[in-house]
Amino acid sequence: MTQAPSQVQLAELMRESRVDFGTSGVRGRVEDMTDRVCYAYTLAFLRHLARGPRVARRLALGGDLRASTPRIMGAVAAAALDNGCEIINCGRLPSPALALFGMDEGIPSVMVTGSHIPGDRNGVKFNTPRGEILKVDEAAIRAQRVFLPPSRFDANGALAAPVCLPDVAPRARLAFIDRYLGFFPPGCLGGLRVGIYEHSTVAREPLAAVIQGLGAEVLRRGRSAQFVPVDTEAIRPEDVALAQEWVPADRLDALVSADGDGDRPLIADEQGRWIRGDLLGILCARSLAADRVVTPVSSNSAVEKCGWFDRVRRTPIGSPYVIEGMEAELYAGGQRVVGYEANGGFLTATVIEMGKQRLSALPTRDAMLPVLALLSSARRRRVPLSTLCAELPSRYTASDRLKAFPTEISRRCIAAFWSGDLAQDRYTIETVFGPDLGTVAAVDATDGLRITFESEEVVHLRASGNAPELRCYTEADSDQRARDINRRCMDILERWREAPP
């Protein structure tokens, strides 16, 4: 096998390797994410940050609990070390903890994680000293041309010599824990029994430390040595069953968890019902007395209907768009600006004050803050979590996905509704969905296709930016109706697998 050229245009490498930017960071199949590919991405990122010929002098590095993560961390470290950059090995910790550490230190950081996607895939998240990269940064990284030393890799793209990471420095993880122990009142969770669904989330230790540190009794359940792809937007039936089993058996006030890298929360109430992420976002924003809220177009419309906020801004799906929206609200005069995604990940753009305590801005997805905000609100008011949820307008959402559904087919299916062939009855919106949902009132193409019917029921179709999946979100005025619509839509979409438009 011939050796690859040493000078590489990153955009070309991306096409060859099939490892590309998704909604948040770079993701791909583990077999495609060779050391050479990960080295190239890291070097391109550092070159993007460079001023003149020099790259950053220090880089914070962390990862999740996937089997492939240590190897990829080694490839990232090799790129940094080869270019004169000191590595601070932060070990296995939540993505927001690593980003916060980088921001506090004024240095870039790299998190090796595939978030919630299956274990045969992985990814790399890049953070500048100001926070996670935005779309403009992605474009600049794509444009980089990097030098890959031929002797660094073997014919299969693996490092020819392994890289030994420095010992783990616990500062980032401890600072993240202290961030919340120092913000919420001491003992504010006293009297609560909280279960932690540990599975393979890297947030399991920080969650336990903070919740117990604030006075709650913690019960740990479900730790897994194998990676579990918990998706907070498409909760697995087995996880629904676990909550229904553990909550009454352990007499829990709440069961909490997070996805693989700890930036998307899961919270079940005292009845063992998982609370959807976009509802968590509304309740968290309320508890923090936010005046302006930014959230993607796919989130529940209760955020507008509740009337709790001065302004709500909708964006395309993805944390970079939410961050850009928060920046716009800051510029427009927002005093307490927050954001959240439908997966529950919560972001803050401004300092949040609670009495004499101040919580610095963290403009990246975080699972810890919404968990603590809801638990503390419920305890302060001496009501169960279900009461907080009952105060929201009666708007219910459901979501599901078709796995192993090629992105190009997803986009072609959605685009068929906008093509010049809409006269073909088979693919008009109303002939496809009308028998179940009625007349179309409005259509929003901000991200995918969001259809609002005259009944105020909603169907939103979107190709995932992180994996070959077609996602369907539905909204109605009852939980059962939202789920019924979602099942019906999934039946329709499943037929597209066999006969796409």
pLDDT digits (tens, 9 = 90+) for 204-213: 999 999 999 9
Question: pLDDT per residue over 363-380, tens digit each?
Answer: 999 999 999 999 999 999
Whether the Cβ atoms of residue 359 and residue 351 lie closer than 8 Å to each other? yes
Domain that holds residue 468: 396-498
pLDDT at residue 308, as a whole number: 97
CATH number of the domain within which 427 lies: 3.30.310.50
In a domain, 59, yes or no: yes
Asked whether the predicted pLDDT for residue 408 surpasses 60, the reply is yes
pLDDT at residue 217, as a whole number: 98
Asked whether the predicted pLDDT for residue 92 surpasses 90, the reply is yes
Residues whose CB is less than 8 angstroms from the CB of residue 416 and which lie 6 or more positions away in sequence, other chains included? 427, 501
Rounded to whole angstroms, what are the CA distances from 429 to 139, 422, 491?
34, 9, 15
Question: What are the DSSP calls for 47-81, one per residue?
Answer: HHH-BTTB--SEEEEEE-S-TTHHHHHHHHHHHHH
Radius of gyration of the chain (CA): 23
pLDDT at residue 404, as a whole number: 84
In a domain, 476, yes or no: yes
Burial class (CB in 10 A: 0-12, 13-18, 19+), 499: exposed
CA distance 24 to 464: 11
Summarize the confidence of residues 396-409 as an average pLDDT: 84
Asked whether the predicted pLDDT for residue 417 surpasses 80, the reply is no
Domain boundary among 372, 390, 408: 390
In a domain, 283, yes or no: yes
In a domain, 180, yes or no: no
Query: Closest by alpha carbon to 111, among 197, 45, 13, 15?
Result: 45
Q: What is the mean pLDDT of the chain?
A: 91
Burial class (CB in 10 A: 0-12, 13-18, 19+), 84: exposed
Q: How would residue 168 be classed by pLDDT, with cut points 50, 70 and 90?
A: very high
Asked whether the predicted pLDDT for residue 215 surpasses 70, the reply is yes
Same domain, yes or no, for 341 and 196?
Answer: yes
Quote the number of domains for the chain: 3
38 is written with which tokens?
């990960």
Same domain, yes or no, for 196 and 339?
Answer: yes
CA distance 437 to 416: 19
Summarize the confidence of residues 407-435 as an average pLDDT: 70
Asked whether the predicted pLDDT for residue 50 surpasses 90, the reply is no
**Least confident among 19-28, 79-88, 222-231, 339-348:** 19-28
CA distance 260 to 204: 10
pLDDT at residue 464, as a whole number: 76
Asked whether the predicted pLDDT for residue 421 surpasses 70, the reply is no
Please tell me the number of Cα atoms within 13 Å of 315 on its side-chain side.
23
Same domain, yes or no, for 307 and 363?
Answer: yes
Question: pLDDT per residue over 99-138, tens digit each?
Answer: 999 999 999 999 999 998 888 999 999 999 999 999 999 9
Residue 130 is which amino acid?
R
Whether the Cβ atoms of residue 410 and residue 463 lie closer than 8 Å to each other? yes
Whether the Cβ atoms of residue 334 and residue 482 lie closer than 8 Å to each other? no
Asked whether the predicted pLDDT for residue 426 surpasses 70, the reply is no
Establish whether 115 is a catalytic residue: yes
Residues whose CB is less than 8 angstroms from the CB of residue 448 and which lie 6 or more positions away in sequence, other chains included? 298, 317, 414, 460, 461, 462, 463, 471
In a domain, 367, yes or no: yes
Asked whether the predicted pLDDT for residue 55 surpasses 60, the reply is no
Summarize the confidence of residues 259-276 as an average pLDDT: 96
pLDDT at residue 233, as a whole number: 82
pLDDT at residue 23, as a whole number: 65
Strand-pairing partners, residue 402, are 470
Which is the catalytic residue, given 115, 299, 377, 399? 115
Asked whether the predicted pLDDT for residue 192 surpasses 50, the reply is yes
pLDDT at residue 414, as a whole number: 83
CA distance 491 to 42: 41
Q: For residues 162 and 265, which has the higher predicted lDDT (pLDDT)? A: 265
In a domain, 183, yes or no: no
Q: Using DSSP bridges, classify how beta strands 352-354 and 396-402 pair: parallel, antiparallel or unpaired.
A: unpaired
Q: How would residue 1 be classed by pLDDT, with cut points 50, 70 and 90?
A: very low
In a domain, 77, yes or no: yes
Question: pLDDT per residue over 445-478, tens digit each?
Answer: 888 889 999 999 999 998 876 678 888 999 999 9
Asked whether the predicted pLDDT for residue 34 surpasses 90, the reply is yes
Whether the Cβ atoms of residue 198 and residue 363 lie closer than 8 Å to each other? no
CA distance 228 to 221: 14
pLDDT at residue 420, as a whole number: 43
